[in-house]
Structure 1
Amino acid sequence: MTSAVVVGEDSDTQDVGNLWWRTAGAPLAAEPLEGNVRADAVIVGGGFTGCSAALHLAEAGMAVRLLEARSIGFGGSGRNVGLVNAGLWLPPEKVEEALGEAVGRRLNAALAAGPELVFSLIGRLGIDCEATRSGTLHCAHSQGGLDDLNDRLRQLRAQGAPVELLDAQETAARTGTPAFHGALLDRRAGTIQPLAYCRGLARAARDAGAVLHEHTPALDIARDGEAWRVTTPDGSVTAGALLVAVNAYGRPATGMPAPAYVPVHYFQIATRPLTDNLRRGVLPERQGCWDTAPVMSSFRLDAAGRLLVGAVGSLEGPGARWHRAWAERKLAALFPDLAGIDLEHAWCGRIAMTGDHLPKILRLGERGVSVFGYSGRGISPGTTFGKAVAAYLVDGNERALPCDPVDAHRERLAGVKQAYYEFGASLTHAVGER
């Protein structure tokens, strides 16, 4: 077996290990900011949220400057599994319980429509990102997991969602493995090449008039009279509206509270492209899959026929060898014909997990917000929140937002929780699938 190459999650040479960086096509190559400029809105962060906001602000006629500390999609948007799912990890009733019925319903409705927004933008803008809308499969790893899916089915159907619960035999036919007790099929959802999608949003935003700057970290963010002023190494942007959308990849900036979350790592390992013989029967409709296990894992195909397996865990810490060995065993357990297949790519990224698993919109001041905490659901929520925040920044009406903003957010014992998640994943992977 050929071992996959992996590099550090903050490395500027991450394209060596990250499959998405190898297959996303040409990068954007936006010039760093030089000099002091003015705009209607300034965005810090070039991921799904920031690029969606930049696009929708520019299309609304606003003069926009987007500042990205590395390159567009460098953070979680370029390390994502690529599942375009509706909703959150929390089922709808839990969302309403946490936020109250009115706000919870508003957020549930906005995110239920998330996949339609993503795929409609891909079609309207002509984004080449391996888009496949054949649904996703939430797979039951146990009878308890199947019971949970039955409850989710009830809640989602109450919302009018086009979902169905497959039995074990139907699940085996759709996945190519008999490993699961059943699966929840959501036909609203699908898969994409996430970095190509993020870059596509950025290019569309630039075409609409937004000005993008890569390799331009925000060093200081402050209210300057009736405007916001973002200072960078070689210049500044002064604007009436501000969005900070750095999620789990923010750099410290004076004058601005850092997003509060628990960093949780998620890694992925990809095989070489499968031969026609090996490919036969493996995810024949190309649904993306994830499971109900306490330490969640996922699997999907890319356009070239590589099989990607991912799970909670870091490929940089002491548990890396256990995570890698588990991925090899997991592949063989799911698809015995793939035992010993070459693994060509390996990478990981950080998820911004909040204690209640709900995204946050933090008020920073007049027409200024920070958005973070998708807890592993980046594509649809990021695109949805970016569009909604754009509408809010145009006129300052908070009712445009999918949930109510808060004045402060704290995460207690974030470092302890981070270590707990990684230790649990490492221990699970050390003994799992044996």
Structure 2
Amino acid sequence: MTRVIENELPFIAQSVWNDTANQTPDCPPLTGKQECDVAIVGGGFTGLSAALHLAEAGVSVRLLEAETPGWGASGRNGGQVNPGLKEDPGTILRRFGPEMGQRMIDLAGGAGDFVFDLIRRLDIDCGAAQPGWLQPYHDEASKRVVETRVEQWKPYGDPMRLLNRDETAAMLGSKAYMGAMLDTRGGHIHPLNYALGLATAAQKAGAILHGHSRAERYEHARDRVVIHTSQGQLTAQNLIIGTNGYADTFSGGIGRTVVPIRSVQVATAPLPSEVFESILSQGHSASDSRRLLLYFRRGPNNSFVMGGRGDYTEKGTERQFEQLRKASLKLYPQLAEAKWRYNWGGFVAMTVDHYPHLMKAADNVWASLGYNGRGVAMASVMGKVLADAAQGVPEPDLPFPVTPVRPIPFHFMRRYAVAAAVAWARLRDG
């Protein structure tokens, strides 16, 4: 029997990651009145990484998760570890200046290695592999974007290289693209097992994790923060919010700084060995250069996984599932006889400026969210940044700029804006 995402809408709950997940650690709900140095709300990569690094530093930390660790996007994404930010180094330096810009480039560029080093150090069983990730391009305009990216990263260890059509076809097992960029710093993981591994490691280090403990509201009491759940109350010196695309009313203005966009995926049942070996035979994962990108990889148990942009409605999402299956067959006609066993989705958080936001909502309230599709690597490393901030590292010494909470104007109209942007991007992709 297929294991689904519990307490989720049925049409987006059939995930290959849940069906192949390791055991979830025991995370009892918060009850009664408890205290700690740092409270964390959100049990995804951001919160779990922050909890781990705080506990390893000897800080008393408790984490509140509305469901179970990795329940949200952290356990549902494509598992691609893609380093860097959406913008390239030149753009980052122009916007943030040479000092902060360089810190951001170093942090984001090293985020992939950060993840794989963490997995090795903690011995997390999550199918981690670091062969690099591919960004194939389909037209001349996207080719120029990719060429510029490779050129701009050359001063930083030359981690990328361009592949011609034949090299791209050999790595992908498909002739559908003109060429590609290979970033040797990237790779892939089983995202839910990575989240569960971080949770277990955080507990071993001394963090206390509470599942099924939705944070309903918080208030300031002198120099402390009091967080309320349905069954308990947690008082802490500092609060970290890491809810990302699942921010709700608890997060207040923080949640209105991002636009949650549903990303969806489909996956096959186990494929015959000859079909499986013909797809991405060197173990790379890929996310292409379309505005409405496709991302795909091999999955657990000889499956194939394809992902892309979803929809807010059930009917719209069902249409997107079918589009992904059709796109898969266009890339890999050998999937014609494949059985599509899984389809699921979750919310990623997008920002208007395409950068993650490290925010300070009060002297003792921190948040990081808005990873714009780079969440595996960036959420992991930003959890460490939040842990440092909560321990008193001065703002000027942090490797990412601290910004105030700036809610997006007319945030309540976000769904209409997203629909219009998607339609325009689809036309431009051709």
**What TM-score, normalized by structure 1, do the two folds share?**
0.93
2:90 equivalent in structure 1? 93
- Contact between 1:221 and 1:256, CA under 8 Å: does it hold in 2? no
Where does the alignment leave 5 or more consecutive residues of structure 2 unmatched? none
1:135 aligns with 2:132: yes
CA contact (8 A) 1:167 1:183 kept: yes
| 1:264–1:353 Cα contact (<8 Å) kept | yes
Deviates more, 1:299-308 or 1:126-135: 299-308
Alpha-carbon displacement from aligned partner over 1:71-99 (angstroms, at most 9, x marks no partner)? 11111101111111111122222222333
User: 1:418 and 1:388, CA in 2 relative to 1: closer, same or farther beyond 3 A?
Assistant: same
Residue among 380, 391, 394 paired with 2:377: 380
Q: Distance in 1 between matches of 2:278 and 2:25?
A: 37
**Is 2:391 the counterpart of 1:397?**
no
Per-residue displacement from partner, 1:365-420 (whole Å, max 9, x unpaired)?
Answer: 22321111111111111111101111121124224533121122222344545334
Q: Which of 286, 289, 292 does residue 292 from structure 1 map onto?
A: 289
The one-character-per-residue Cα deviations of 1:108-145 (angstroms, maximum 9, x if unpaired) are 11011111110011111110001011010011021221
- Larger mean CA deviation between 49-58 and 260-269 belongs to 260-269
Between 21-30 and 397-406, the greater mean CA deviation after superposition: 397-406
Does structure 2 retain, via aligned residues, the 8 Å contact 1:9–1:347? no
Distance in 1, matches of 2:49 and 2:254, equals 23
Q: Which runs of 4+ in 1 moved over 6 A?
A: 5-10, 12-15, 426-430
1:35-434 paired onto structure 2 within 5 Å: 35-253=32-250, 257-314=254-311, 316-422=313-419, 425=422
Residues of 2 paired with 1:420 and 1:317: CA distance? Answer: 19
- Alpha-carbon separation, structure 2, partners of 1:409 and 1:326: 36
- SS of 1:395's partner is coil
Sort the Cα spacing of 1:254 and 1:146 in 2 relative to 1 into closer, same or farther, 3 A.
closer
Q: Confirm or deny: 8 A CA contact 2:38 2:59 kept in the other structure.
A: yes
**Higher mean C-alpha displacement, 199-208 vs 230-239:** 230-239
- The percentage of aligned residue pairs carrying the same residue is 33
Deviation (angstroms), 1:254 = 7.7
Distance 2:251 2:49 in 1: 25
- How far residue 13 of structure 1 moved from its aligned partner, in angstroms, is 6.7
| Distance in 2 (alpha carbons) for counterparts of 1:237 and 1:428 | 44
Asked if the contact 2:164/2:178 (under 8 Å) is kept, the reply is: yes
Structure 2 Cα separation of the partners of residues 58 and 360 of structure 1 = 24
**Residues in 2 aligned to 1:93 and 1:216: alpha-carbon distance in whole angstroms:** 43
Q: Which amino acid aligns with 2:72?
A: G
| C-alpha distance after superposition, 1:54-87 (max 9, x if no partner) | 0000000001000001111111101111111111
CA distance in 2, matches of 1:10, 1:159: 44
2:134, 2:286 within 8 Å by CA — same for their partners in 1?
Answer: yes
Report the CA distance between 1:16 and its aligned residue.
5.1
What's the RMSD between the two structures over aligned residues?
2.5
Greater shift, 141-150 or 93-102, is seen at: 93-102
Q: Distance in 2 between matches of 1:230 and 1:388?
A: 22
Deviation at 1:217, TM superposition (A): 1.1
The code of the aligned residue for 1:43 comes to: I
Code of the residue aligned with 2:171 in structure 1: it is R
Q: How much does 1:339 deviate?
A: 1.8
Report the AA paired with residue 81 of structure 2.
V
Report how far residue 422 of structure 1 moved: 3.7
Q: For residue 15 of structure 1, report the CA deviation from its aligned partner.
A: 9.0
SS at match of 1:100: helix
Q: Which secondary structure does the structure 2 equivalent of 1:350 belong to?
A: strand
Note closer, same or farther for the CA distance 1:276–1:255 as it changes in structure 2 (3 Å cut).
Answer: closer
- Deviations 1:309-368, CA, capped at 9 Å, x for gaps: 111112744323431221222111101111242101001111111000001112122232
Q: Distance in 2 between matches of 1:59 and 1:403?
A: 22
Change beyond 3 A, Cα 1:131–1:15: farther
Alpha-carbon displacement from aligned partner over 1:281-322 (angstroms, at most 9, x marks no partner): 210111110111121111101232211111111274432343
Secondary structure of 2:194's counterpart equals helix
Query: Normalising by structure 2, what TM-score?
Result: 0.93
